[in-house]
Structure 1
Amino acid sequence: MGSKIKLTNSTGTKITNEELCTLGSQHAVITWVTPQQRADTSMYIGETPKHLKKHTFALDSEFHYLEMYNLKPSTRYWYQVESNGVKGSLNSFTTLPAPKGKYLFSFAVMSDTHINYGEVAEDINEIYFGKLVDYANPLLTQCILDSKRRNIDLAVITGDLTDTASRLQYLGLRNQLLPYFGDTPYLLCPGNHDKYTKNSGLGEQGFLDNLADREKTYTSIIFKDYLFLLIDSCRQDENWGDIDPVQMRWIESMLTTNKDRPAFLFLHHPCNGPDLWFGIKNNREFLKLTRSFPNIQGIFCGHIHRNYVSVNRLMTGSRPYVEVPATVQFPCAYAVVRVYENGFAYNSYKVSRLDLSEMSRERFILKKGGKAILTRYCLGRIGDRSFSYFNDQLFRPKQYELSVTLDNTNANKLYENARSIDGASLIPAYDTKKAKVILGRYDSLHLTTQAFREKFFRYGAYARIMEVGNES
């Protein structure tokens, strides 16, 4: 994966992989790593860069997971992480607007847990892309426990619960893992891996007999006067998705019958247009059907193992189509949807076992820039991990990055200089012989351009401006 950058600062500590994980109207989560150094988890934060207050959240960790509460909606904050007296770059974000109306309930969304008990599919995600099949059980367990600490009222898992649909996997889920939900109800969609019959897989019958407790692979429930549709987009031993005509008629019937109820739809495969990685083949028919129902609040899926949010302005306006990340592959995450009278807020959270999330990132194998590519693709942009949706408007935050990419030796020199003056952090570059020095991340292009001039005169380095997670 390329040579390591030598540490030269007095504490032996460096800030790496700093990421604004998720952002709400009143909270934010930031994560970072201090490789091979246990340190405090601290942050300076305030509404102006000259008046920042220090908060310390933990005292002895290599993997730093920081959550700040009691923020104001629609407000810009400046922040700077710190460990062992070493500071990251000075950054900013603007909190999301809060959805209008009374808070009603919340639910978690998880996907692609790939429980295997050693019976693995040996797919490309496992071989090349950091899929942690050997840690699938503790990752799902921790995601369940983490989501329950956020006081969810319901959970939905959108498929690929198992890796090969074996009896052992289904029984392990039923008897050992899903019971961690306790008294929190959960709903399950099948994924393409749950319909494998090759290599002694039980296919959808195993899903129905051992997990679903229902006659069909698709179903609906009314929860808190909201319609939840669980759609089966999978076919036996196929990776491509497809929704059969019988289900299409059922979806139309359920939405028509419940046209006065807000609705959330769940399926395993992406459905908003053609997808290069095995989305549903009949996406046009599905979009044509669902465009007639404005009561649909959002559509959630998995399968692609990434954070990604899209809209289809032509067909369905600003309605969000949300791809939920895998629990078993970087960023090893789950999502929470908080529902209000006139909309909802969405946040994707890395699992609190940040050591496993980083292990997945490190296992990504490509000759050029594997970790950088994985971070961009799977973690996505901050607007893919956080948004508010109300009054038919989608509010998505942005963050722009000011960075310099240099060979490892010169990157370390710039990092040491910058972190001693303003603060800085390091992340992998696409070229494994290089590293990227982060000089700042800002919530507006204007602030980034302003900082560009300041950093150029200060360090003589020509920095690049780009949206975080959207590098070209």
Structure 2
Amino acid sequence: MKKSVKWHIWIASEVPRVFVLLFVFIIPFLLYAGISNPELLSVTENSFALYWDTDKAELCAINYGATRSNMDKSWAESGKPKKFHFLEVKGLKPGKEYYYQIKCGQEKSRQTRMSPGRFTTLTLPAGKQLFSFAVLTDMHIKEDVAGLILLPGAKKASLIPGFKWKDPDDPYWNFTNRNAIERINQLKPDFTIVNGDLTSWFTEDEFLIAKQMLDKLQMPYYVLRGNHDRVEDQPEDLFKKVFGLKQSYYSFEQGGFLFICLDSVRLKDGWEDISQEQWQWLESTLRGNALEPTFIFTHYQIGIGAPGINKDDQKRFLSILEQNPQTIACFYGHQHGARVEMLKFGERTVPQIIVPTAKEYPSGFALVRVFETGFVYNFQSTDCENCLEWRSITRGEYFGLAPEINGGSLSERNFVYPFPLEIQALVKK
């Protein structure tokens, strides 16, 4: 067969595939190239928040409505044009389905896993709101490279490369945590819990800076130790010294609820460990407060388990949760991402909630609102100009897998947990 005939046959067979490639993949990519990395971050009973990037500085808007074909409402950005965007849309109705699309000039966003183009607003638990609290975790004061994976005790060797911020005079740990604290003050919870890793290398200077920042919270706050807040060969426990703690594990009450803050860190090297004395204190505290609904906080995710979690500790912790039906939920830090697992004990479930960090992607904190019949959990994003750019940069952590590893699902970042009937019976009306 002649070569020209072969070419004609090839063209006849391949042209349809080329058109499919063009219209299904290449043209849509070019059409949406100006809008990238859209993420539906938060959904409450009356609002939703989106993040996205654009390839040039511009002002955009979010179109939304009750159907995909009739997105008849719009919420527009204001101020100067930008490449890194965050916009919260308010005034929605509870328990309703909405559709949305980002519009930047003539370009419109497409649906992705992180931005599906639709959602249903939350429905609040019945009864009145009793109080609210924020959870901020993993501040990592004076950290200079984000996204590293260091084994406890290792100060240099990382398993993967990390990211640095362009301005050494305003490091990322400073502006992200500062913005998170400003946003917490705007939301006005009754108190804040800081769930460990306040520092990077447990120096007195780092602890003092952390305290100076946290003292700007306009409500009481409570701190827990993380693996970066260990002691090693220091002559004294600086975590306890700087924050004036007689003991590194303790409890407090709020509105008829008990809050237990544990120290899950082995002081000499930062690995997970809970002493026999602390186990006995935990069991005694729960036994003595059996009629108080209880939230438990610890830096390490003991209830879920992970590499480095002592299996015996996990087994004992789960046994304690099972034997104490007044326990509502456990909150953790350490992982830096959003994750929720529901542990089942017969008909009862106990949420195990890992709260994201503010100092890198996904960059935020948690707001928890406690009602008579349940609680509402919402992720709250940092929103300063540098925060949004840094969020975009650190989205590339873990070889670009940060959204899959730490982003979590929408329902892990925003959900309503109805109290079991036995918990509702304990709540003081």
Query: Is TM more than 0.5 here?
Result: yes
Which amino acid in structure 2 is aligned with residue 115 of structure 1? I
Which amino acid in structure 1 is aligned with residue 102 of structure 2? V
Q: Does the aligned pair in 1 maintain the 2:249–2:261 contact within 8 Å?
A: yes
C-alpha distance in 2 between matches for 1:118 and 1:377: 22
2:70 is equivalent to residue 42 of structure 1: no
SS in 2 for 1:297: strand
Q: Does the aligned pair in 2 maintain the 1:31–1:66 contact within 8 Å?
A: yes
C-alpha distance in 2 between matches for 1:324 and 1:70: 26
* Deviation string, structure 1 residues 201-230 (Cα, Å, up to 9, x no partner): 566x1001102x221100111122221111
The equivalent of 1:259 in structure 2 is 290
2:49 is equivalent to residue 29 of structure 1: yes
C-alpha distance in 2 between matches for 1:316 and 1:158: 29
How far 1:332 sits from its partner (Å)?
Answer: 1.7
Which amino acid in structure 2 is aligned with residue 301 of structure 1? Y
Q: Which runs of 4+ in 1 moved over 4 A?
A: 5-10, 117-127, 129-133, 277-281
Structure showing greater Rg: 2
Alignment of 1:291-302 (within 5 A): 291-302=322-333
Which amino acid in structure 1 is aligned with residue 40 of structure 2? L
Alignment of 1:175-194 (within 5 A): 176-181=212-217, 183-194=218-229
Q: Does the aligned pair in 2 maintain the 1:166–1:202 contact within 8 Å?
A: no
* Deviation string, structure 1 residues 71-106 (Cα, Å, up to 9, x no partner): 222211011111223111261111222112101221
C-alpha distance in 2 between matches for 1:70 and 1:125: 46
The equivalent of 1:375 in structure 2 is 403
The equivalent of 1:141 in structure 2 is 178
SS in 2 for 1:97: coil
C-alpha distance in 1 between matches for 2:140 and 2:189: 23
Cα distance change, pair 126–57 in 1 and its aligned pair in 2 (3 A): farther
Of 15, 25, 45, the residue aligned with 2:35 is 15
How far 1:306 sits from its partner (Å)?
Answer: 1.1
Cα distance change, pair 58–357 in 1 and its aligned pair in 2 (3 A): same
Cα distance change, pair 8–24 in 1 and its aligned pair in 2 (3 A): closer
Cα distance change, pair 251–21 in 1 and its aligned pair in 2 (3 A): same
C-alpha distance in 1 between matches for 2:268 and 2:207: 17
Of 65, 70, 75, the residue aligned with 1:55 is 75
* Deviation string, structure 1 residues 45-90 (Cα, Å, up to 9, x no partner): 1111222112213352211111122222221101111122311126
Structure 2, unaligned runs of 5 or more: 1-25, 112-116, 147-153, 422-429
The equivalent of 1:97 in structure 2 is 123
Q: Does the aligned pair in 2 maintain the 1:270–1:279 contact within 8 Å?
A: no
C-alpha distance in 2 between matches for 1:315 and 1:287: 13
2:306 is equivalent to residue 275 of structure 1: yes
The equivalent of 1:358 in structure 2 is 392
SS in 1 for 2:95: coil
Structure 1, unaligned runs of 5 or more: 394-472
C-alpha distance in 2 between matches for 1:275 and 1:264: 21
* Deviation string, structure 1 residues 295-321 (Cα, Å, up to 9, x no partner): 222110111111000012247832110
- C-alpha root-mean-square deviation of aligned residues, in Å? 2.8
Number of residue equivalences: 375
The equivalent of 2:96 in structure 1 is 75
C-alpha distance in 2 between matches for 1:210 and 1:24: 37
Which amino acid in structure 1 is aligned with residue 77 of structure 2? F
Q: Does the aligned pair in 2 maintain the 1:29–1:68 contact within 8 Å?
A: yes
Q: Does the aligned pair in 2 maintain the 1:102–1:341 contact within 8 Å?
A: yes
The equivalent of 2:87 in structure 1 is 66
Cα distance change, pair 92–378 in 1 and its aligned pair in 2 (3 A): same
Alignment of 1:130-209 (within 5 A): 130=163, 134-174=171-211, 176-181=212-217, 183-197=218-232, 201=234, 205-209=237-241
Cα distance change, pair 92–112 in 1 and its aligned pair in 2 (3 A): same
SS in 2 for 1:320: strand
Q: Does the aligned pair in 2 maintain the 1:288–1:315 contact within 8 Å?
A: no
2:161 is equivalent to residue 128 of structure 1: yes
Q: Does the aligned pair in 2 maintain the 1:77–1:93 contact within 8 Å?
A: yes
Q: Does the aligned pair in 2 maintain the 1:57–1:66 contact within 8 Å?
A: yes
Of 134, 137, 141, the residue aligned with 1:108 is 134
Q: Does the aligned pair in 2 maintain the 1:103–1:339 contact within 8 Å?
A: yes
How far 1:24 sits from its partner (Å)?
Answer: 1.9
Q: Percent identity?
A: 28
Q: Does the aligned pair in 2 maintain the 1:131–1:360 contact within 8 Å?
A: no
The equivalent of 1:442 in structure 2 is none
* Deviation string, structure 1 residues 406-442 (Cα, Å, up to 9, x no partner): xxxxxxxxxxxxxxxxxxxxxxxxxxxxxxxxxxxxx
Q: Does the aligned pair in 2 maintain the 1:344–1:388 contact within 8 Å?
A: yes
Q: Does the aligned pair in 1 maintain the 2:202–2:231 contact within 8 Å?
A: yes
SS in 1 for 2:328: strand
Which amino acid in structure 2 is aligned with residue 192 of structure 1? N
How far 1:391 sits from its partner (Å)?
Answer: 3.5
SS in 2 for 1:96: coil
How far 1:249 sits from its partner (Å)?
Answer: 1.8
* Deviation string, structure 1 residues 327-383 (Cα, Å, up to 9, x no partner): 222112211111111110111122112112112224x26xxxx21x11100111112
Q: Does the aligned pair in 2 maintain the 1:141–1:177 contact within 8 Å?
A: yes
Q: Does the aligned pair in 1 maintain the 2:231–2:238 contact within 8 Å?
A: no
C-alpha distance in 2 between matches for 1:333 and 1:240: 25
C-alpha distance in 2 between matches for 1:48 and 1:192: 48
The equivalent of 1:440 in structure 2 is none
Q: Higher mean Cα deviation, 214-223 or 67-76?
A: 67-76
How far 1:13 sits from its partner (Å)?
Answer: 6.6
Alignment of 1:316-327 (within 5 A): 317-327=348-358
Cα distance change, pair 93–123 in 1 and its aligned pair in 2 (3 A): farther
Q: Does the aligned pair in 1 maintain the 2:375–2:419 contact within 8 Å?
A: no
* TM-score (structure 1 length as normaliser): 0.73
Alignment of 1:284-433 (within 5 A): 284-314=315-345, 317-352=348-383, 353-362=387-396, 364=397, 370-371=399-400, 373-392=401-420
C-alpha distance in 2 between matches for 1:281 and 1:348: 32
